[in-house]
């Protein structure tokens, strides 16, 4: 299964490199100070600290919400996927949803926006998971600055760069979480899948698998 996770990580790294290349090519033709400022904001992130912050928050929220009778009405329920949604350009917080995922015909990383293989359960539903600092910093700084870009295409270009980096960091978060057994009190059916998407916008992306 490690080969699958290596493949997932490699694909996200390719997406990040492509997004970075688009931004740097555009910057060679632009004198827009806002565009440069957000590129530097992206470049100056500390990825190790980001992963640790997400890890600590995820660990706390699992104990506080996912394993609490008040929020989880069937802690013993078995399932094989957690799907995480984030708010895109205007929100870095991710919410968790337990999923019964039919993986009998799985094409890894290929999902549809409304995927009939994903059945939403009620034991973990809209529960806090963690904040992606990378997406949060973008949200925090870009509000009110959108009109200072040359056009909204550049806003989307910057967003794609930040999101691609956030997905790499989240992949590494789940690797660390798995190694530290923070999901051990949940009744996970294996292989167990983690998927992420922007709310109401894109198809879920497979981000990590526990064998």
pLDDT band at 41 (very low <50, low <70, confident <90, very high): very high
The alpha helices in 108-203, defined as continuous H runs, are 133-142, 152-179
Q: Which helix (H) or strand (E) element contains residue 91?
A: none
pLDDT over 70 at 174, yes or no? yes
First-to-final CA distance of the chain: 6
Give the mean model confidence (pLDDT) for residues 181-200.
93
Predicted TM-score (pTM) of the model is: 0.93
Q: Are strands 118-131 and 79-86 parallel, antiparallel or unpaired?
A: unpaired
Mean pLDDT, the chain, whole residue set = 92
Give the mean model confidence (pLDDT) for residues 137-163.
95
Bridge partners, 85 (sequence order)? 95, 197
pLDDT at 107: 63
For residue range 71-122, what is the model confidence (pLDDT) as tens digits? 998 999 999 999 999 998 888 899 999 999 988 776 655 676 667 788 999 9
pLDDT over 70 at 1, yes or no? no
Distance between CA atoms of 57 and 14, rounded to whole angstroms? 28
State both tokens at 93. 């917080």
Report CA-CA distances (Å) from 96 to 30, 33, 61, 158: 39, 37, 10, 26
- Order across the sheet with 188-198: list the strands: 118-131, 93-101, 79-86, 188-198, 205-210
pLDDT band at 48 (very low <50, low <70, confident <90, very high): very high
DSSP strands (E only) in 75-163: 79-86, 93-101, 118-131
């Amino acid at each position: 299964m490690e080969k699958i996770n290596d493949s997932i990580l490699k694909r996200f790294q390719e997406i990040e490199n492509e997004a970075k290349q688009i931004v740097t090519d555009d910057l060679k033709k632009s004198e827009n100070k806002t565009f440069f400022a957000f590129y530097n904001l992206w470049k100056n992130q500390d990825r190790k600290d980001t992963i640790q912050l997400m890890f600590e928050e995820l660990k706390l929220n699992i104990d506080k919400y996912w394993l609490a009778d008040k929020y989880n009405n069937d802690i013993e329920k078995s399932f094989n996927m957690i799907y995480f949604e984030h708010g895109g350009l205007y929100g870095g917080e991710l919410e968790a949803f337990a999923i019964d995922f039919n993986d009998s015909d799985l094409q890894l990383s290929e999902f549809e926006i409304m995927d009939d293989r994903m059945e939403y359960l009620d034991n973990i539903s809209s529960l806090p998971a963690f904040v992606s600092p990378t997406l949060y910093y973008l949200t925090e700084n870009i509000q009110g600055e959108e009109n200072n870009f040359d056009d909204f295409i550049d806003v989307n270009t910057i967003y794609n760069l930040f999101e691609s980096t956030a997905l790499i960091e989240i992949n590494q978060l789940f690797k660390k979480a798995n190694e530290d057994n923070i999901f051990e009190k949940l009744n996970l059916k294996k292989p167990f899948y983690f998927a992420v998407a922007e709310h109401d916008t894109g198809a879920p992306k497979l981000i990590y698998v526990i064998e």
